[in-house]
Amino acid sequence: MNIFPAPSSCRFSEDTIDCGNAEWIKISPDFSANLKRQLSELAQEFSSCFANGLKIIAGSPAMGNIFMTVSISGAGIKKQGYKLRTTQKGIVLDGVDEAGIFYGIQTLRQILKKYGSRPKAFAVSDHPDFSNRGVMLDVSRCKVPTMKNLFQLVDMFASMKLNQLQLYIEHTFAFSAHETVWRDASPFSAADIMELEAYCAERYMELVPNFNSFGHFERWLRHSEYKKYAECPDGFEHPWGGCSDHGSTLKPEKESLALLNSLYSEYLPNFSSKLFNVGCDETWELGLGRSKKLCETKGKTRVYLDFLLKIDELTRKHGRRMMFWGDIILHEPELIKELPKDVVALNWGYEANHPFKKQAKCFAEAGVPFYVCPGTSSWNSLTGRTQNCLENLANAAENGSRFGAEGFLNTDWGDGGHHQPQPVSYIGYAAGAAYSWSYKANKDTDMAAALNEMAFMDKTGITGHLFYDLGKALELMKARPANCSVFNKLLFWDMKEEPECMKETGKPELKKCIAKFEELIALASRARPESSDGKLVIDEFRHAAGMAKLSAQKAVAFLEKSDKLDSLRHDLERIISNHEKLWLARNKVGGLRESSGKLRDSMRAFENNK
């Protein structure tokens, strides 16, 4: 029996337990209304498998057999853990807390889907490696999901036993006094946040507020009325190349703190969580503008830390525990010990070989609580990067567990316009959930097969493998650009000269990729996902594969000085139209013009090479 995530300990025998005549799930009257509802929904879902139906009861039934007894005792069970087993008197589910019972329900649901009322005898003893297991969705790089889409994602995350969700916010919350910033972005309202939090709470998931509060403030600082808060109000030269005509980092001064305090006062009360992710990563231009003299005197990392500590004071004022991205403080690890011992450092890194071992050790030795924060490897890829994704997530889980991380936060970014369709991230969601639940039990799990069961409901077994193999296609290429795929680079390449990524890649590799994409697109016609969004999932797959295929065809045409560029330009026009249609199936309209505009800009390469 393949349970996902695989439990810490699980035994099945060949003996069948016939429960067909049972009709009761006996629960404790002390359970919360929410847990009673979860158990009632389980009974309704599988009632047709039982001769007399299935229902819950808190008392002792005078007639009828008990199918399952559910209790909270916690004897010998770790936090959020449960024990689930068959006995001569039916199934017994025992948890240490209500969350543990909820996770036991998720396991039982999978068993009942396979065996109905006649399961094999089993004994499961289970608990998570990480007490906090979350996903952070980027809802600021163009895509703002609809509430319906968010609810569907929360359901999937809960079924995978995840218990935290963050929405990465830069400008997509409707602050009452700052419409200039969020106009046309389709932002979340306070009511949306409260509705989402309630939905999460019903599934034992914590919605953690997230608002980037130092770096990545460009969506504010580009507007004239906010330039006074910028470190470099007239722009700066980006360390990754190119120049910006506006700032991205707040100046580390009282005026900026006053702005943040006002924003926190409106934003944070909409959340019940006592955690708050203030971001503060990638403060690129710190020390180049208004804080230049101060940084020259005290040092840039010291100035950063001093301002971070003031943000921490603000966070405490609002009754929250600060979480922050740990990249800048790691520039001078000796300063970590000066952090308060109740903040949470978020140790992020997205490549397979990211030094989680070295960095996690720095936080652990300084006594500063931390999460490991790998990623889905989907952004700037079109297709996903399957191998990098799995290795990055495994690296984080292994070293996070080794050095005592408080949590595992799986990040899903939308850099560059968020062009990857949503299901491209699902391999990463599944692997992150499995590895953070129990890395030892799940390190060899077939993630494509898991997705067929957990997300796509595809009995053919094809849909999960389509996305898995799509993200493996880049293994056919020698070029391995960091934090992106070669296909994404080629799609947006201006074709003025041979790009760096093609110096390691020739026509044979490109043509192999084209053939692979065509093979996968043909295979998609045989997939049969039965999820409510099954047709959309296949359309999204074809779109992702089509974008990647066109990028490789574009490179081949350039190398061959082919006359096929005009045909490819028409293909790109169809891709843009498809992108816009598929976007609106899961996301609000805000951000679409920006994302689609980047694809339209790439049309110029064809015009320039006629």
Report the C-alpha gap between 492 and 483 in whole angstroms.
Answer: 15
Report the C-alpha gap between 280 and 267 in whole angstroms.
Answer: 17
> 9-126 adopts what CATH topology?
Chitobiase; domain 2 (3.30.379)
Report the C-alpha gap between 213 and 258 in whole angstroms.
Answer: 12
- Whether residue 74 has pLDDT greater than 80: no
Domain 132-217+249-445 in the same topology as domain 9-126: no
Report the C-alpha gap between 283 and 281 in whole angstroms.
Answer: 6
Q: Comparing C-alpha atoms, which of 404, 441, 399 is closest to residue 125?
A: 441
Model pLDDT, residue 241: 81
Model pLDDT, residue 610: 65
Percent of residues, the chain, with pLDDT higher than 70:
100
Under CATH, which architecture does the 132-217+249-445 domain have?
A: Alpha-Beta Barrel (3.20)
- Whether residue 290 has pLDDT greater than 90: yes
Q: Comparing C-alpha atoms, which of 45, 36, 61 is closest to residue 53?
A: 45
Q: Could you report the per-residue pLDDT of 235-251, keeping only the tens digit for each?
A: 999 887 889 999 999 99
Percent of residues, the chain, with pLDDT higher than 90:
93
Q: Could you report the per-residue pLDDT of 463-508, keeping only the tens digit for each?
A: 999 999 999 999 999 888 999 999 999 999 999 888 888 887 789 9
Structure tokens at 543: 């779109």
**Average pLDDT of the chain?**
96
pLDDT category of residue 423 using cuts at 50, 70 and 90: very high
Model pLDDT, residue 260: 98
Helix/strand/coil for 27: coil
Structure tokens at 194: 């409260």
H or E segment to which residue 194 belongs: helix 190-202
Report the C-alpha gap between 287 and 248 in whole angstroms.
Answer: 13
- Whether residue 210 has pLDDT greater than 80: yes
Helix/strand/coil for 214: coil
Q: Could you report the per-residue pLDDT of 579-593, keeping only the tens digit for each?
A: 999 999 999 999 999
Report the C-alpha gap between 44 and 291 in whole angstroms.
Answer: 62
Model pLDDT, residue 486: 95
Model pLDDT, residue 363: 98
Using CB atoms within 10 Å of the CB of residue 598, give its burial: 0 to 12 exposed, 13 to 18 middle, 19+ buried.
middle
For residues 607 and 572, the model is more confident at: 572
Long-range contacts of 357-362 (CB under 8 A, 24+ apart): 357/399, 357/402, 357/403, 359/326, 359/330, 360/399, 360/400, 360/402, 360/403, 360/405, 361/403, 362/330, 362/333, 362/336
Strand partners, 323: 277, 344
β 164-168/206-208 pair status: parallel
What residue segments make up the domains of the chain, in order of their start?
Answer: 9-126, 132-217+249-445, 463-608
For residues 158 and 506, the model is more confident at: 158
CB 429 within 8 A of CB 367: no
Q: Distances in Å between the alpha carbon of 125 and those of 85, 103, 402, 428, 532? A: 8, 11, 22, 25, 32
Q: Could you report the per-residue pLDDT of 75-115, keeping only the tens digit for each?
A: 789 999 999 999 988 999 999 999 999 999 999 999 999 99
Model pLDDT, residue 498: 85
Helix/strand/coil for 123: strand
